[in-house]
Amino acid sequence: MAIVNETIAHAHAAWLGHIVQMETEQLAHALKMQEINLNAAIDGINALRNFISDPSHILGSQTTKHGEIAEACEVFIGNALEQIKGGKPIYIWLNGAERFAPADYLLNGAEVQSKYINGAAATVNHIKKHLEKYQDFLANGGFYHIPKDRYMEITKLLAKKSSELQGSQTTLVRNIRAFEQATGFKFERAVKPAITTYGEVQLNKVDDTIAKKEEELKKIDKKLRQRHIEKARPTMKAGLQAATIGAALEGGTALVMSIAKRHKKGLTLADYTSDDWLEIAAEAGVGVVKGSIRGGGVYSLTKIAGVPAPAATAVFSASFGVIEQANRLRKSEIGRDEFVLNAEALCLDVTIGAVASAVGQALVPLPVLGSLVGNSIGMLLWGIAKNHLQQDEQKVISCYRARINTHNLQLDSCLKEIFEDLRQDVNHFQALCEITFDVSKGRSVNFHGSICLAQYNNVSTDAIIRDAAGFERFLENNIIIDLGDCA
């Protein structure tokens, strides 16, 4: 019975450990992919910087170069905003052979003409002129991009009543309504806001704009990473699920084992008395309570504290056993010495079970099955050995505690010596690193420190550079200049 209960508990813990391991691996994969997404987005921003760095190749005069700069910003920043979220580039810049085509770039396959003109009225007029030249532009699914602030300015005017408009505003709105009537397209369909404002793409401002957009990308990246981390955090719902599964497993096992115990005595269900059923219910109830506590506790230890599942199960199994022995002690069923011996034996039992589960999981690399096999075999062998000890070697039990105490003292002494040696070794290494890499100490001290550091790391004497002449020989022997590349 005890072996079955312990095996079921370890099987449940192994399954919880497998779930936690899968969630951990999923988190690591998600963070790795997000790092790739960030690098792709930053590469796009750097490509934009490279384009802006040489204004001589940008079309237009000093006062009109912002037009092509706006196109570059829209394409590179727009793609970066998609890539930071794991998406693919959605912009294709038609900057080259198709420079004088109806569109400046494609957005999700649709043609887009960028119009960065100073003033709302002038912007609308430039759109009308372009449409006169390419009359099917809107009908073919194309649209116009204008500065974000210009778009907001115009749409706010369009939302006002005629009585609220003044002077040039009335003329602008009338002009737009005539445009809508002539083309058959609403302004909001024909014109959409770009990513940047008119001022952000000016030659003397675009570097600041790029830096600001890069910071925005990094903030998005940070939020996405935090979202992945929050998703992987332990939740009350998952803890309750683990507790429910544990209750069902251990409660069901207790019920079956209780009935099986009576079946071995020759009793059938029809022979059970009310006392039998009460005892069965009590045993099953205890199994439910233990299973729920163990399931929720193991989930918490594995998910929050990172404790391996076999060790977490061992903690709760030992706790249940010790509590039971404590109750027997309070009822005077056992004495103090017997309580101590029983508690130690219980702790040893669950330790053997945990080790066996861990070994089984390593030898049978299948979730749950390895732990199940390992725990079953390990607990069976330990049960046989324990019974043998109880029959033939009672003297071992009597001196068990004394031996353990002696071993603990010896172990503490050894660990202290090892820790002290390790501390001195680390301090010495840190001192050498400081001498070698702290430039404030001067080149001579740094050079001497590098020699000591090399000797400390067991670099062969012949390979250590000790003076300027040795450094020159190293350069002559290891750096080869291809004169053909210089021709």
Full DSSP string of 324-381: HHHHHHHTTSS-HHHHHHHHHHHHHHHHHHHHHHHHHHHHS-STTHHHHHHHHHHHHH
Task: Assign 379 a pLDDT band (cuts: 50, 70, 90).
Answer: very low
More confident residue, 450 or 209: 209
Residue 466 has pLDDT above 60, yes or no: yes
pLDDT digits (tens, 9 = 90+) for 354-377: 554 544 444 444 444 444 444 444
Q: What is the pLDDT of residue 310?
A: 58
Residue 245 has pLDDT above 80, yes or no: no
Lowest mean pLDDT among 68-72, 239-243, 329-333, 376-380: 376-380
The residue-averaged pLDDT of 408-414 equals 68
Q: Which of 87, 140, 79 is nearest to 113 (CA)?
A: 140
Q: Where are the alpha helices (DSSP H) in 137-273?
A: 148-158, 168-183, 187-190, 206-232, 236-264
Half-sphere exposure of 328 (CA within 13 A, CB side): 16
76 close to 47: Cβ distance less than 8 angstroms: yes
3-state helix, strand, coil split of the chain in percent (to 5) is 75, 5, 20
Residue 385 has pLDDT above 60, yes or no: no
Q: What is the pLDDT of residue 370?
A: 42
The overall average pLDDT reported for the chain is: 75
Name the helix (H) or strand (E) containing 192.
strand 191-193
The whole-angstrom separation of Cα 417 and Cα 411 is 10
Which is it for the CA torsion 416, 422, 425, 429, positive or negative? negative
Lowest mean pLDDT among 82-91, 126-135, 416-425: 416-425
466 Cα distance to chain centroid: 46
The whole-angstrom separation of Cα 61 and Cα 69 is 12
Tokens representing 441? 């100490």
Query: Which of the residue ranges 85-94, 399-408, 413-422 has the most confident prediction, judged by mean pLDDT?
Result: 85-94
Residue 234 per-residue DSSP state = -
Q: What is the pLDDT of residue 364?
A: 40
The whole-angstrom separation of Cα 372 and Cα 360 is 7
Q: What percentage of the chain reaches a pLDDT higher than 70?
A: 60
pLDDT digits (tens, 9 = 90+) for 20-65: 667 777 878 888 899 999 999 999 999 999 999 988 888 877 778 8
Q: Which of 123, 199, 188, 120 is nearest to 154 (CA)?
A: 120
Q: What is the pLDDT of residue 304?
A: 52
More confident residue, 119 or 97: 119
Residue 125 per-residue DSSP state = H
Treating both helix axes as pointing N-terminal to C-terminal, what angle do 168-183 and 148-158 enclose, rounded to 10 degrees? 90
Name the helix (H) or strand (E) containing 90.
none
- What is the length of the chain? 487
Q: Provide the 3-class DSSP secondary structure of residue 449.
A: helix
Q: What is the pLDDT of residue 336?
A: 67
Residue 191 per-residue DSSP state = E
Residue 12 has pLDDT above 60, yes or no: no
368 close to 390: Cβ distance less than 8 angstroms: no
Q: Biggest alpha carbon distance in the chain?
A: 111
Q: What is the pLDDT of residue 428?
A: 82
Name the helix (H) or strand (E) containing 418.
helix 400-437
Q: Provide the 3-class DSSP secondary structure of residue 445.
A: helix
Q: What is the pLDDT of residue 372?
A: 41
Task: Assign 478 a pLDDT band (cuts: 50, 70, 90).
Answer: low
Task: Assign 279 a pLDDT band (cuts: 50, 70, 90).
Answer: confident
CA distances from 170 to 111, 121, 185 (A): 31, 11, 20
The whole-angstrom separation of Cα 83 and Cα 42 is 9
pLDDT digits (tens, 9 = 90+) for 213-235: 999 999 999 999 888 877 766 66
More confident residue, 145 or 336: 145
Q: What percentage of the chain reaches a pLDDT higher than 90?
A: 32
Lowest mean pLDDT among 118-127, 132-141, 413-422: 413-422
Residue 270 per-residue DSSP state = G
Q: What is the pLDDT of residue 298?
A: 61
Name the helix (H) or strand (E) containing 297.
helix 274-300
